[in-house]
Structure 1
């Protein structure tokens, strides 16, 4: 299986010098067989899962763009119930959690990426200087500026981390299909009540 990379255009000469090759069919850089992944870690795309669910929701909110001031729609994935990978001395196992809002999504399977590519073109993979790796993030629909997940998920009262004062700013579209991804997540009683309510 090819080990694909997410390489900003301005960094293409760096990966080329390290031995990466361009796949014309996929329009992506990749690491050829026989070359170590180690020098490419900052560009390496994840292709494994650490979270899964029998159903998922598209969560929609809004955020004022930091660059142009436009009130732009933003999206995330919400899992009403799901499982997450954990490790112990016996190896990998799955734990159940009550609800979670996903952030820093680094991998989505093809069936989900094809949906978001057409329905949500402003939610796409991009490189984050804050975390140092690429993940699916929102972009302003007017100017294209990145809206990183730290600002949308990290602060209490932000677009996807509601408090008691702003819970009605998130809407959910339930999709009764299996879901899997590689992501981080957060949860709160407000989120769980909001989806149920």
Structure 2
């Protein structure tokens, strides 16, 4: 638990640890995230600041998992992309602190992505759009053939979704790419609705075994 309402993520590498620690940088051992608080920001630490204003998720690195599914509309095979963490920090719902998490988790309903992270995801069919079902605007997958929106609720939140309960066999066939750069984003923020609405944006990545074939 990071007991601070406002933090500033720091993009710090191993060879800089001694210098930044002496300058007041903080390290959260559970999530492996470096940060400072606004009143502690000085000229030295300013060189490591990740330049973003709106965020409620910070991770030291991230995995981009690219799999395939049949489009719900045209039934053709299309690539789908998911962002996964093994450790991260997330802002508490009351906005008064940050929770440290060390768990395999998918992030979805992403409202804002910095330009550098967009480039690192490298997916032409993953872009900002508005959900027909919820009316929320977030980064979502689209069919590469017909352009149909493949919303996050169906991919991450239902019983037989494509990512949360992905089988190990399917994971082995997927393209899993680790990006060793700081991840910062805003997720689950219902910008088009009442600010009190709670939008789910994290789920466990379980990777289950395929069951025996039915006769």
What pairs up with 1:110-189 in 2 under 5 angstroms?
110-116=115-121, 119-162=122-165, 166-170=167-171, 171=174, 172-183=176-187, 184-189=201-206
Secondary structure, counterpart of 1:125 in structure 2? strand
Distance 1:103 1:113 in 2: 14
CA displacement at 1:189 relative to structure 2: 4.1
1:188–1:141: structure 2 CA closer, same or farther, 3 Å change rule?
A: closer
Q: What's the Cα RMSD here?
A: 2.2
The 8 Å contact of residues 84 and 97 in structure 1, kept in 2 or not, is answered as: no
Secondary structure, counterpart of 1:141 in structure 2? coil
Structure 2: any 5+ residue segments left out of the alignment?
1-52, 188-200, 210-215
The 8 Å contact of residues 89 and 98 in structure 2, kept in 1 or not, is answered as: no
Distance 2:152 2:123 in 1: 16
Q: Deviations over 1:33-54 (max 9, x none)?
A: xxxxxxxxxxxxxx61111110
* Poorly superposed stretches of 4+, deviation over 3 Å: 188-191
In structure 1, the partner of 2:54 is: 48
CA displacement at 1:72 relative to structure 2: 0.6
1:157–1:169: structure 2 CA closer, same or farther, 3 Å change rule?
A: farther
Using the size of structure 2 for normalisation, the TM-score is 0.60
What pairs up with 1:6-17 in 2 under 5 angstroms?
none
CA displacement at 1:93 relative to structure 2: 2.5
In structure 1, the partner of 2:207 is: 190
Secondary structure, counterpart of 1:190 in structure 2? coil
In structure 2, the partner of 1:9 is: none
Q: How many positions carry a matched residue from both structures?
A: 141
Distance 1:167 1:104 in 2: 24
Q: 2:107 aligns with which of 102, 105, 112?
A: 102
Using the size of structure 1 for normalisation, the TM-score is 0.65
Distance 1:153 1:55 in 2: 21
